[in-house]
Structure 1
Amino acid sequence: MPQPGPGNAKLAAVIAEAGMSHAEVARALVRVAQESNANEFVGVGRSHVSHWIAGSKPSGRAPVLLCEALSRKLGRVVTLDEIGLPGQPLSSADMLGWQVDTLSALTELGRVDVDAERRRVLSTAAYSLAALALPSDRWWTHMAERGQTRGAAAGRHVSKGDVEAVIDMVSLFSRVDQRRGGGHARSAVVQYLTSDVATYLRGRYADENLRRDMFTAASELAYLAGWMAFDNGEHNVGQHYFNVAVKLAAEADNPAMAGHVLRAMAHQAVDLGHHKHALDLAAASVDGKRYESASPRERALLGVVYARALAVNGEKQRSARALLRAEDDLSSASQGDDEPGRVFFFAEASLAHETACALRDTGDLAGAARHFRRSVRTRKASAFTRTHAVTLGYMGAVQARQGEIEEACGTWSRALDAMDGVRSGRTRQVAVDMRAILAPYTRRNIRAVRDIDTRAKSYLATFA
């Protein structure tokens, strides 16, 4: 009988560590394949596993499915390199599928992020409109049930302190994002999510509430990784992390968390001009328990993005009603609320910013300018520097549309001051827009115009 090569010996060693027979490995792989809609692998049996150990190479997605099957048994992440089977990884489209196992998609994203070439391919791939079609109600029920089966007897014991540590890290990274933009520290967020947190997700829990809390915390971290990528203009990457965040929220059976992520996906779709899809996502974010189970502050956040989606779809009256409801929700928020930390940033300034965007998109420039000024006046710029710069940029654009070019240049000067040290695709776009709006005026030898154009050009050069 031929001796297995080094790669096959790796696979044999991991199977031995898991204490599984070849038939048990095959059955576990089939279960993962069924959940991942990989029906071509439902016929895998013990002879296939024996052949892989002997030296034959599994095809297609089989190596990824095998990693997940072994990971579930061992309660830790098993990589392709560890089992010596560098097969074809999940494609970008595969990872976005709602039937792909949550932890398989998360693990694969981690592999992509440490491979420079695959990371480059993912970051330049197209944003998927097909992936914005939300799954059925049955899917949400199935995911909640699937979450209850998570955990492995051999996995790491997960404590309440572990959950609190993840929440602390989310808070830390969120504050960096708010000040410095999504271009800072995202790799650290992803590394923590796909290593430490991924191990917790495969661990042992004392009770179901603790497991749900960990999956919610992981969802918040995945959401943050997606938000930072979106903010930095890496839209396909952001979409992948949002997708994983929705799945984690569904397995946590946390409708408010799911609504929070769907709201972010709607925001991204609005910015990218996919207005109908944005409205579908925003409507889903405020539907049923996602809105009802949210705290007042989070309801206001969900509602104001819904208002923006209505605005870009020409639904002016419905948008106005949604804005009023968002104002009422925020007014009813108080310090005594049991609200999640993820909404720490949303207060009067944020509501005013989003309201101004909705009014701008319905053609009410005077109303937009008024609310942008309110946002600038009420925001703590030192803590929320990135959004402060974006707000000033948008306000200047509205002023320019009103014919107030010198006033716009004064506002843009303040925006460029705030952009110092900020790495964000949205601040970058603000600078691009400044130069485009000022282009017709650059030959008129207006000093303010010349200065802003030069400063915007210099800021953009830092991204080259």
Structure 2
Amino acid sequence: MGRPPIDRRPNALLAHWHNRTGMSNAALARAVTTKAAELGEQHVTADESSVRRWIKKGETPRAPLSQIICDVISEQLGEHLTLADLGFGPRGVQDAGHPDLPWEASSTIGALAHIIRSEHMLPTTRTTPEARDVHAGPQLLDPLQSWVSAPSSVADTSPADPAPGRIGMSDVENIRAVTTTFRDLDNRHGGALSRKAVIGQLDEAVGMLSGTYTAETGRALFSAVADLGSVAGWMTFDAGRHSSAQRIFVTALHAAAEGGDKAIGAHLLQCMARQMSHLGHYEDALDLVALAQYGARRRLTPAATSMLASLQARFHAILGNLDDSERATDQAQEAFTRIDSADEPQYMAFFDEAELCATLGVAHQIAARKSPTATRGHQAEKSLRLITQALTHRPEHRVRSMAFDHLGLARTHIAVGELDGAYEETRRSLELFGVISSRRVADRLVELHDEAEPFAGGRLGQDLRQLIAAAVQSE
């Protein structure tokens, strides 16, 4: 029922908490077996000798037994303990953030090692309080279902005769022009630098919603505000302010519904899907894409259809659904052949050949990491070809996207153990990272840093991780 750690040291942390319960070895074994049965884990059993091996020989029980032991001891003591508190960390590492640490040398050493490792962990916005406050699952998705059928309630608030101060289509066009300007600034410099400015502009635009206008102008105004909200939310997301970004996206989606604009609503949902994926809520990301596809099914342009399918390909790959990922890739490529840029809205201008290739290239990169060794190289070749093609076609002002592209190439090289290529592409990504302000790029760099850990024992792997660490920590 267990596997001994390499050094076979006694588990002092487990012994400490076991002693605190006052239970004998036999009593703990009985409680664990009973708890396992309650959870439907009939095959999981323990006896007195099992408990001795866990404590005296430092054997780490396999899942789910380790968690069941943790649950039993936590319930017995009336406080929440983690696997790490019981010394069931990776490779037998005993890290303890709990203040009730045993007064014992090996536990002290293990706890100090854990603290030092924690202090050296690179910063990431995925673990901030803002990220933890983001709504997910049914809490997020259930309220958004109403977007599909929500009617516009915009009424004609204008007097019969034109009056001074009445909002007209020229005001709407001004908002759209400002939105285009901020979208360009975001692409060139990242979201953090202009985030407060775009939110200030959004505040001005929202103030206009309380003015007087015809019903037609009102719907166009709500639509324009929704689009400006998509940029404000995106910049806020890029700056790592996740719960704030989500609030902006959701309220902008309501504005899109008031404007009767299903297309901009779908655009907002794909922004939210990307955020959910960034934060590790991959099922939610897929559900948001599906909601966008269904809710705007009669309003989706070929570019929007292709974009949503390409995101599906990426999210399915992350979840290990490689066949579904391939099908979505085919759908994205087919829809892309039908695009006529003259018929696409301005906010879809970003989804060009470069963006399609980059998104699908990342999907193949993820598939390479998920694939058996025999097919990993084939997936990596597709990824390298597509992302390189993306870089070839990127407009110069898409600086952040180019940083992501080089980072994508680096991660593909890492997936197949090509450290020279990974180092060179990381260096190029960091050159661009130095001229933008984007916490999203920083978070992806941290992912690459973690993916390079298996190679940290070699000079090039160590250099790569140090290169990333220096850049991210200086942010």
Which interval holds the TM-score relative to the shorter structure?
Answer: 0.5 to 0.7
> Is 1:350 paired with 2:355?
yes
Shift, 1:209, TM fit: 2.3
SS of structure 1 residue aligned to 2:294: coil
In the aligned structure 2, how far is the partner of 1:360 from the partner of 1:461? 26
> Is 1:133 paired with 2:145?
no
Size of the alignment, in residue pairs? Answer: 335
> Is 1:198 paired with 2:206?
yes
Shift, 1:387, TM fit: 1.3
> Is 1:224 paired with 2:238?
no
**Aligned match of 2:96:** none
Give structure 1 stretches of 5+ with no counterpart.
1-120
SS of structure 1 residue aligned to 2:405: helix
- Of residues 389, 396, 410, the one that matches 1:374 is 389
Give structure 2 stretches of 5+ with no counterpart.
1-127, 369-378
The residue identity in structure 2 corresponding to 1:242 is F
SS of structure 1 residue aligned to 2:191: coil
SS of structure 2 residue aligned to 1:383: coil
**Aligned match of 1:5:** none
In the aligned structure 1, how far is the partner of 2:253 from the partner of 2:433? 31
**Aligned match of 2:318:** 312
SS of structure 2 residue aligned to 1:287: helix
**Aligned match of 1:458:** 470
The residue identity in structure 2 corresponding to 1:301 is M
- Of residues 268, 293, 317, the one that matches 2:299 is 293
> Is 1:407 paired with 2:421?
yes
- Contact kept? 2:265, 2:292, Cα under 8 Å: yes
- Of residues 250, 264, 277, the one that matches 2:271 is 264
- Of residues 411, 435, 458, the one that matches 1:397 is 411
- Deviations for 1:94-133, whole angstroms, at most 9, x for unmatched residues? xxxxxxxxxxxxxxxxxxxxxxxxxxx9846611114421
- Contact kept? 2:188, 2:397, Cα under 8 Å: yes
SS of structure 2 residue aligned to 1:157: coil
In the aligned structure 2, how far is the partner of 1:149 from the partner of 1:241? 26
Distance 1:151 1:284, change over 3 A: farther
**Aligned match of 1:185:** 194
The residue identity in structure 1 corresponding to 2:166 is H
Shift, 1:431, TM fit: 2.8
The residue identity in structure 1 corresponding to 2:434 is D
In the aligned structure 2, how far is the partner of 1:440 from the partner of 1:271? 23
The residue identity in structure 2 corresponding to 1:273 is G
- Deviations for 1:147-169, whole angstroms, at most 9, x for unmatched residues? 33777999951111111110011
In the aligned structure 2, how far is the partner of 1:359 from the partner of 1:258? 28
> Is 1:426 paired with 2:440?
yes
- Contact kept? 1:435, 1:453, Cα under 8 Å: yes
- Contact kept? 1:262, 1:282, Cα under 8 Å: yes
Report the TM-score when normalising by structure 2. 0.65
- Deviations for 1:339-387, whole angstroms, at most 9, x for unmatched residues? 211111110111111112222333333322222222122212x211101
- Deviations for 1:378-409, whole angstroms, at most 9, x for unmatched residues? 212x2111011012112101101211101111
Which moved further from structure 2: 144-153 or 169-178?
A: 144-153
Distance 1:430 1:135, change over 3 A: closer
* Percent of aligned pairs sharing the same letter: 25
Shift, 1:316, TM fit: 2.5
- Contact kept? 2:233, 2:245, Cα under 8 Å: yes
Matches within 5 A, 1:40-189: 123=130, 126-129=133-136, 130-135=138-143, 140-141=148-149, 143-148=150-155, 156-189=165-198
In the aligned structure 2, how far is the partner of 1:413 from the partner of 1:371? 20
- Contact kept? 2:236, 2:242, Cα under 8 Å: yes
- Of residues 385, 388, 408, the one that matches 2:402 is 388
The residue identity in structure 2 corresponding to 1:388 is M
In the aligned structure 2, how far is the partner of 1:170 from the partner of 1:272? 26
SS of structure 2 residue aligned to 1:217: helix
In the aligned structure 2, how far is the partner of 1:314 from the partner of 1:441? 24
- Tell me how large the CA RMSD over aligned residues is: 2.6
Distance 1:228 1:151, change over 3 A: farther
**Aligned match of 1:360:** 365
- Deviations for 1:284-303, whole angstroms, at most 9, x for unmatched residues? 11115x13312222222222
The residue identity in structure 1 corresponding to 2:336 is L
The residue identity in structure 1 corresponding to 2:386 is H
- Contact kept? 1:390, 1:426, Cα under 8 Å: no
**Aligned match of 1:35:** none
- Deviations for 1:151-190, whole angstroms, at most 9, x for unmatched residues? 7999951111111110011100001111111112000010
- Deviations for 1:302-331, whole angstroms, at most 9, x for unmatched residues? 221233233333333332222222222222
- Contact kept? 1:259, 1:302, Cα under 8 Å: no
- Contact kept? 2:191, 2:236, Cα under 8 Å: yes
The residue identity in structure 1 corresponding to 2:276 is A
